[in-house]
Amino acid sequence: MSALAEELERLRVYADPPRLPVAGAGPFGTADMRCMAEDFFVVEHSGLAPAGDGEHLYLRIRKIGQNTRWVAKRLAEMAAVPGRAVSFAGMKDRHAVTEQWFSLHLPGRVEPVFNIPAGEGIEILQAVWHDRKLRPGQLSYNQFRLRLRNCVINDPPGFESRLHALRTAGVPNYFGAQRFGFEQANLFIIRDIRSLPRIPREQRSFALSALRGALFNGYLAARVADGSWADGLAGDIEISDRPRGVAEEDQSIFTSQRLPAGLLWGNKYQPAREEAGYCEQTFYGRFPAITSLLEGAGCRASRRVLRARTGNLSCQHDGNQVELNFALGSGSYATMVLRELLAIIDQGTAG
């Protein structure tokens, strides 16, 4: 087995969220998630106020049973424009009902007629022109309404106590299972640095994102295990947990905070110092083949906050069902909130 193959096998555990440590004493019971698409409802809030004119058509889309990239491709087909003319701020779950913005670059064009066949799971809620393209990550927060079924809460006081802690401290900002593909397959797309030119661009992007995400999860898991994920260590690099631009300006739910951040490996990274620097060197030093591959692929280093804050978190019980409502910032995963409370079986991906 090559050094890279051996490291990938060790990395797999960090791409499997149920095997990552939780911050609290949970889980406090069990529940089923996404028994039907309507149980997982997400509304994207960009903080944008489209100008009403310009050459970028913004479409507010409600989708069900489709992933974001597929919707973007369909919009490009219906508008007769290349795929690169369609953009969106964030990826949304397929097994869910979600609302989000897309933008289409249509210089000198009138608004297309979108003939969407019944049953495709796409509904246009709003169309408005704007003078700038919608860019990845250009969103303020996502609002979730999640209905969990067949709930069995074994420790109600512990459950309620953990809810209170989540409101104040948030959760470890792990990447969710979507990042890694079915059975962590995205980790194994690249088997050798020499194979990179032969891998299609989209697959290559998935693979590199998965590798960086799994490494980040592993580092964060170590920080959760030693209790330093929330308050930080000496020498930690702190960044704002609000994306630059319009999202940073929208403080309707989250005000900008500087929080300890972990490394998304790549070239030209700024190392942490002191105790945090030692932790980084110790963890990433275990994966020299993977870090070398990421550098060779041209990945540029960045950072991601270790703690994801929750906003407006509420919980209602109805027999054996629980409904959770909360907001998360850009790039954070709702499933990471759920796993701090309950052992979840995701019926949307089962089978």
What is the CA angle 205-211-213, rounded to 5? 95
Q: Is residue 200 part of a domain?
A: yes
CATH number of the domain that 132 lies in? 3.30.2350.20
| Beta-carbon contacts of residue 198 (< 8 Å; ≥ 6 apart) | none
For the chain, the distance separating the N- and C-terminal CA atoms, rounded to the nearest angstrom, is 31
Q: Is residue 344 part of a domain?
A: no
Find residue 128's DSSP bridge partners: 58
Q: Is residue 237 part of a domain?
A: yes
Token pair 């953990």 in the structure block, residue: 162
Cα–Cα distance between 224 and 206 in angstroms, integer? 26
Same domain, yes or no, for 85 and 187? no
3-class SS of residue 127: strand
Q: Is residue 322 part of a domain?
A: no
- Which two structure tokens, joined as six digits, stand for 173? 């900002």
Same domain, yes or no, for 133 and 236? no
Last residue within a domain, chosen from 103, 138, 173: 138
Same domain, yes or no, for 59 and 158? no
Cα–Cα distance between 250 and 46 in angstroms, integer? 8
Q: What share of the chain is helix, strand, coil (3-state, %, to 5)?
A: 35, 25, 40
Q: Is the pTM of this model over 0.75?
A: yes
Cβ–Cβ under 8 Å, residues 198 and 206: no
Q: Which residue from 213, 216, 211, 215 is spatially nearest to 187, judged by alpha carbons?
A: 211
Q: Tell me which residue range forms the domain holding 236.
A: 3-33+146-310
Cα–Cα distance between 149 and 161 in angstroms, integer? 21
CATH number of the domain that 257 lies in? 3.30.2340.10
How many domains, the chain? Answer: 2
Same domain, yes or no, for 110 and 82? yes
What's the confidence (pLDDT) of residue 252? Answer: 86
**Residue 203 Cα to chain centre, angstroms:** 18
What's the confidence (pLDDT) of residue 287? Answer: 98
Q: Which residue from 304, 342, 309 is spatially nearest to 324, judged by alpha carbons?
A: 342
How many CB atoms are located within 10 Å of the residue 191 CB? 14
| CA 277 vs CA 141, 233, 262: distances in Å | 30, 9, 10
Find residue 286's DSSP bridge partners: none
Q: Which residues are catalytic?
A: 93
Same domain, yes or no, for 13 and 150? yes
Find residue 60's DSSP bridge partners: 101, 126
What's the confidence (pLDDT) of residue 351? Answer: 40
40, exposed or middle or buried, with CB in 10 Å at 0-12, 13-18, 19+? Answer: buried
| CA 150 vs CA 5, 34, 158, 339, 344: distances in Å | 40, 11, 19, 16, 10
What's the confidence (pLDDT) of residue 248? Answer: 76
The tens place of each residue's pLDDT in the chain, 351 residues long, gives 789 999 999 999 999 999 999 999 889 999 999 999 999 999 999 888 888 999 999 999 999 999 999 999 999 999 999 999 999 999 998 899 999 999 999 998 788 889 888 889 999 999 999 999 998 888 899 999 999 999 999 999 999 999 999 999 999 999 999 999 989 999 999 988 888 889 998 899 999 999 999 999 999 999 999 999 999 999 999 999 987 776 777 888 988 899 999 999 999 989 999 999 999 999 999 999 999 999 999 999 999 999 999 999 999 999 999 999 999 998 999 999 999 999 999 988 654
Q: Assign residue 261 a region: left if phi > 0, alpha if psi is -120 to 50, beta otherwise? A: beta
Q: Is residue 40 part of a domain?
A: no
